[in-house]
């Protein structure tokens, strides 16, 4: 089932009525912070993984 543009507009209007503009913007802000934190955590994990591989190679 594919949603058309009018269905998306109706869904958006219902969401706005239920939550209000202020709460939706707050949810968007928190979601953006969460995504940024997740990406940062992934980058940190990759750096730690590279360091561990380099340490293991240097020990050989």
Per-residue tens of pLDDT for the chain, all 60 residues: 788 999 999 998 998 898 888 888 898 899 999 999 999 998 888 888 888 787 777 776
Note the pLDDT of residue 11: 92
Note the pLDDT of residue 60: 65
Note the pLDDT of residue 55: 78
What pTM was estimated for this model as a whole?
Answer: 0.56
Helices 5-19 and 21-59 cross at an angle (nearest 10°) of 100
Note the pLDDT of residue 4: 92
């Amino acid at each position: 089932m594919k949603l058309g543009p009018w269905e998306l507009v109706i869904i958006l209007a219902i969401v706005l009525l239920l939550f209000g503009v202020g709460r939706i913007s707050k949810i968007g802000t928190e979601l953006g912070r969460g995504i940024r934190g997740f990406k940062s955590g992934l980058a940190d994990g990759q750096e730690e993984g590279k360091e561990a591989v380099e340490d293991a190679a240097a020990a050989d």
